[in-house]
Amino acid sequence: MNVTSLAKQVLAALSATTALGLAAPAVQAQEKVLNLYSARHYQTDEALYANFTKATGIRINRVDTDDAALLQRLKTEGSASPADMILLVDAARLWRAEADGLFSPVKSAVLDQRIPAQLRGKDSGDGSQWFGFSTRARVIVYSKADVKAENVDTYEKLADPVNKGRFCSRSGSHPYNLSLFGAYLEHLGDAKAEAWLKGIVANQARDPKGGDTDQIKAVASGECGVALTNTYYVARLMRSNNPDDRKVMEQVGVIFPNQKTWGAHVNVAGGAVARHARNRDAAVKFLEYLASDEAQRYFADGNNEYPAVSGVKTANPALTALGSFKQELIPISVVGQNSAKVQQILDRVGFK
């Protein structure tokens, strides 16, 4: 073998060794990731993500947007979507995504043991489509000065003529209201639900506008006598450092409705594995982490939501002050499924 040939072989061997030496660390350093599409916009959730990464080594890449935009993006991306997991707020939205085939079912002993059956999506035998991880009750707030608590202690009484000209609300078509109305329909049937909603429209103090916090403040100002709101908006004002917010809460009473019947309506924030998830194992691990005591306390203490897992203790003073309550037990998935029918009723009775 001549020198030139030998040199070429040595150079080739060195090149191969170098290539392998570079490739091996690249493979070893391949990072574990979770691509998360989230409709939750709460700064306190940052601790959830950071602690999950610290515990598992799985880095979270996040897309934050509102529910409607998130679902449309998933539909547009189709099988090319990089999403591994989806976080949504409200039963109606979770059901809509489930119906559109955007989720992949999950069978997990951890999730089945910790998340109550009524807070999970449909299970066709291969696992639940989604899981609720935090809850919020849809409560009634009323003016202590102008309204008697016994006149607004059930959802039914919102339609009673005694409350004519007193009721304020955000849009009837907002998912928070669609879910409540869907639950009411499930309890009492189509005809009674329609009559009830017609009575609520007759009792409106003004056209629906604003969000839940706006309704609470409208009651405190005297613009309205009674309104609906989710509990975490109440707790947020109770915990506020702004004296005006605390003054608002001094002027309004809070009622968990229907405590002598089926209980207060409860809605969820939930998560699911995306249909085309490429990092499915990481997504399931994150779902299971969200059901842990640590994560459940973050939901409660950080964002004033109730834990979905029973027995988790919270240090949130507002939730403690609001006290325990009886909640309805109908499946949240059924509530969401009723939303389309509810919208048709709202159109008929003129609930904007």
Distances (CA, A) of 159 to 125, 140, 167: 41, 13, 9
Residue 186 burial by CB count (10 A; 0-12/13-18/19+): exposed, middle or buried? middle
Distances (CA, A) of 37 to 34, 72, 84, 208: 10, 12, 8, 30
- Residue 49, annotated ligand binder? no
- Residue 306, annotated ligand binder? no
> Are the CB atoms for 23 and 29 separated by under 8 Å?
no
- Known binding-site positions for Fe cation: 41, 232-233
- Known binding-site positions: 41, 232-233
